[in-house]
A and B are shown apart, each in its own frame.
Chain A
């Protein structure tokens, strides 16, 4: 379990409505600091600048999907070690298992409950080494 509590989160998501809900949920209920990225193409730069403790990736995004972005992150030294949680609506068990084996910290399935989201994230955080 990491020494400090989970505070800074970067969320890559193209849907502005969901961005808003996640932001309210994490800021108001979870009392966290959240940076949202709409465009996955610039996500890595934003993450480098924001220096989050954890990154949330949407699975399905136009232009580039979550898993592709995740693999790209693995190529960039500054961000490669950040824990990543996938938000997904349709991933099959096989795909989830594959991502776990690649090193994803966890998955949260859509639709998620904004009330529960901070609890779910902290549960994943507490299980990290």
Chain B
């Protein structure tokens, strides 16, 4: 038996709902059912064969034909044993469905063999026996042949083969017997055979239709059951969803009611439907008062802006798009005003119509005042503090430079202290202004094409004073590369000045602070190598933060605001670069920054 290697595609196919019921039956299953029906008849067939075969052997037994009858009986037993084996094989098979066609073929062969046995009996024993025995044989063959109709009802060709094998040899014997009556019967027998095959064929159709209907119905039932289950599941889900919607609706209402921001519910005309506690407190109206007055939201807008408001409202309703961060000065019931930032959201139904508008307003009056204060403060820092400092530092510089004539040594020391500290104060103010500018996004860089070795060289010259003050020297480490970058010249010099002055401050007197350049392919790295004490472990994480200093006593000794590296980091990042530090071999630190090379991908 050849096991089918084809996957049971019918079982995988999706049920075709709505198609003709009979067409939706799986042909393989129908076939398997027919085969099952045929095999289920086999035990009866085997028993009948053995019983009738025994009777026939007994009846036909006589001394003349003893060997032949024994031979025939042996054949019957052999074929019956094979049939029994086939039956047992089928019953224990696991491939009844997939291998149905194979089982059908084997059954066909067994039916043929069975039929041939009876045909043999008719053809061989009829001529040689007595009249009584001839009648017995004719009855026997007729009975055996017609018993095939119900037995092979599920396959009419099988019946045709079986019955044909029985009656056709017998017909030949009758026709050639030399007896007129027998010759006439010989004409009738094939006719009977044909009629019987016709009946078997009709019966077969009935069986066939029955099986198809059974399978189609089975599938429909399955589909129906699945559908029903799904429907029930959906009902449960719907129920759950409804519960959730209810719960979130209540939650939402609670949120709106308790929210610290003002929430107004408006209809599509802008009339107030409801306002929450925060809104009542902020504007001085109760929700009920506004609803009873049939008030428009325009009650919260200054009359001179009503025309503007109407236009914007029209646009809101037409576009159905939410509007955010709308800053409006809103009059309150008591005549005072608050500034609110509004988020306005149209509520749109499934048909796309605006059914209402939710307006959420946050009182930002204080925030606006704070922003204004900050602006004023920044402006004050920038001008009012720097102007007197200019006078102070300028005067001290003139004295300390000696153009006013010699001063007493101790006086000169004190004016030196005053100048240095004045300068520190100025640095701090400048750094705060820088940070403020960067963080508020107001710092506009002016990128230009710069050749880095020139810029680095220039920074070394510009900061020479620093080196002298801390008794160190600045020098290049290796060759400076003429790499081009696109960056803000002034700000890049500011970064260099910061790194160089830090390195000078923390290097012991007499050491060299070295500046290196390294080509990294698409980027270039500039490093400042110092011989300082290194960065303490607990300071590494916040070194680029604001007001970051490892040791506050160092500030007093050496100056610095603690903002320098924070500014450097932000400036370098604004130039698409990155900044960092590593430990220098043999002690000290390397601060470096990287910038994208101009023209490199």
Q: Is B444 an interface residue when CB atoms closer than 8 A count as contact?
A: yes
A24-B403, A114-B394 known; A89 vs B446 contact (CB < 8 Å)? no
- A29 CA / B446 CA spacing, docked (Å): 34
With a CB–CB cut-off of 8 A, which chain A residues contact B446? 93
A24-B404, A29-B403, A93-B444 known; A113 vs B383 contact (CB < 8 Å)? no
Q: Which of A86-126 contact B (CB under 8 A)?
A: 89-90, 92-94, 110-115
With a CB–CB cut-off of 8 A, which chain B residues contact A112? 390, 394
Interface string of B395-407 (1 = CB under 8 A from A): 1011001011000
Q: Is A25 an interface residue when CB atoms closer than 8 A count as contact?
A: yes
- A108 CA / B393 CA spacing, docked (Å): 16
Q: Which of A18, A28, A90, A93 contacts B391 (CB 8 A)?
A: A18
Are A21 and B387 closer than 8 Å at their CB atoms?
Answer: no
Q: Is A15 an interface residue when CB atoms closer than 8 A count as contact?
A: yes
Chain A: CB-nearest residue to B388 = A17
With a CB–CB cut-off of 8 A, which chain A residues contact B394? 18, 21, 25, 111-114
With a CB–CB cut-off of 8 A, which chain B residues contact A17? 388, 391, 395
Q: For the side of the interface on A, what is the size category?
A: 20 to 34
Are A115 and B382 closer than 8 Å at their CB atoms?
Answer: no
Chain B: CB-nearest residue to A27 = B403
* Chain B residues within 8 Å of chain A by Cβ, number: 20
A107 nearest CB across to chain B (Å): 13
- A54 CA / B404 CA spacing, docked (Å): 25
Are B382 and A90 closer than 8 Å at their CB atoms?
Answer: yes
With a CB–CB cut-off of 8 A, which chain A residues contact B401? 29, 115
- A57 CA / B454 CA spacing, docked (Å): 33
Chain B: CB-nearest residue to A94 = B444
Q: Is B389 an interface residue when CB atoms closer than 8 A count as contact?
A: yes
Q: Is A32 an interface residue when CB atoms closer than 8 A count as contact?
A: no
Q: Is A69 an interface residue when CB atoms closer than 8 A count as contact?
A: no
Are A89 and B398 closer than 8 Å at their CB atoms?
Answer: no
Q: Which of B382, B390, B403, B404 contacts A18 (CB 8 A)?
A: B390
With a CB–CB cut-off of 8 A, which chain A residues contact B398? 21, 24-25, 28, 114-115
Are B391 and A60 closer than 8 Å at their CB atoms?
Answer: no
Are B382 and A111 closer than 8 Å at their CB atoms?
Answer: no
Chain A: CB-nearest residue to B400 = A115
Are A15 and B395 closer than 8 Å at their CB atoms?
Answer: no
B310 nearest CB across to chain A (Å): 38
- A18 CA / B390 CA spacing, docked (Å): 8
With a CB–CB cut-off of 8 A, which chain B residues contact A111? 386, 389-390, 393-394, 426
Are B387 and A89 closer than 8 Å at their CB atoms?
Answer: yes
- A28 CA / B389 CA spacing, docked (Å): 21
- A39 CA / B394 CA spacing, docked (Å): 22
B101 nearest CB across to chain A (Å): 91
B402 nearest CB across to chain A (Å): 10
- A111 CA / B424 CA spacing, docked (Å): 13
- Max chain A Cβ within 10 angstroms of own Cβ: one of B387, B388, B394, B426: B394
Are A21 and B391 closer than 8 Å at their CB atoms?
Answer: yes
Q: Which of B341-393 contact A (CB under 8 A)?
A: 379, 382-383, 386-391, 393
B190 nearest CB across to chain A (Å): 116
- A18 CA / B398 CA spacing, docked (Å): 12
Interface string of A12-48 (1 = CB under 8 A from B): 0001011011001100110000000000000000000
Q: Which of A24, A89, A92, A113 contacts B386 (CB 8 A)?
A: A89
With a CB–CB cut-off of 8 A, which chain B residues contact A18? 387, 390-391, 394
Residue positions of B touching A, CB distance < 8 A: 379, 382-383, 386-391, 393-395, 397-398, 401, 403-404, 426, 444, 446
9 contacts between A and B (CB under 8 A): A21-B394, A89-B386, A90-B383, A93-B444, A94-B444, A110-B386, A110-B390, A114-B398, A115-B397
With A21-B398, A89-B386, A111-B426 given, can you name 16 additional A-B contacts, CB distance below 8 Å?
Answer: A17-B395, A18-B390, A18-B391, A21-B394, A28-B398, A28-B404, A29-B403, A60-B383, A89-B383, A90-B379, A94-B444, A110-B386, A110-B390, A111-B390, A113-B393, A113-B397
